[in-house]
């Protein structure tokens, strides 16, 4: 097992929950648009709150269904609101 695989397994174990799918790294980790989900963006820890909220607005989705402090079912990425999934720093 490679070192990268061990690190990814460890990261995935940190975020295990019924609503958190495994983290899949993007081809270009520095490109916020290349992440599969908004939860992956948050879990990556690579982007500022301002960058994350701008991407949530662009996608019309956020980890918890909240964008700019406003909840909307349409903003949910996986159809389930979970307060633990909130990106509090980005008010999303």
Task: List pLDDT tens digits, range 44-82.
Answer: 999 999 999 999 999 999 988 888 888 888 888 877 777
Task: List pLDDT tens digits, range 8-53.
Answer: 777 776 665 555 556 667 788 899 999 988 988 998 999 999 999 9
Domain boundaries, the chain: 3-90
Residue 1 confidence (pLDDT) = 58
Going by C-alpha positions, the residue among 41, 46, 84 that lies closest to residue 59 is 41
Q: Position of tokens 């916020």?
A: 32
Q: What is the phi/psi pair of residue 12, to 5°?
A: -60, -35
Alpha-carbon distance 18 to 50, whole Å? 28
Band (84; pLDDT cuts 50, 70, 90) = confident
Alpha-carbon distance 31 to 9, whole Å? 22
Against a cut of 0.85, is the pTM above it? no
């Amino acid at each position: 097992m490679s070192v990268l695989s061990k690190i990814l397994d460890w990261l995935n174990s940190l975020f295990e929950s019924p609503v958190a799918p495994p983290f899949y790294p993007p081809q270009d980790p520095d490109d916020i648009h290349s992440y599969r989900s908004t939860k992956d963006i948050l879990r990556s820890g690579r982007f500022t709150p301002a960058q994350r909220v701008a991407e949530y607005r662009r996608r019309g989705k956020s980890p918890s269904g909240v964008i700019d402090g406003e909840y909307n079912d349409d903003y949910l990425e996986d159809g389930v609101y979970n307060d633990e999934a909130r990106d509090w720093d980005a008010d999303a």
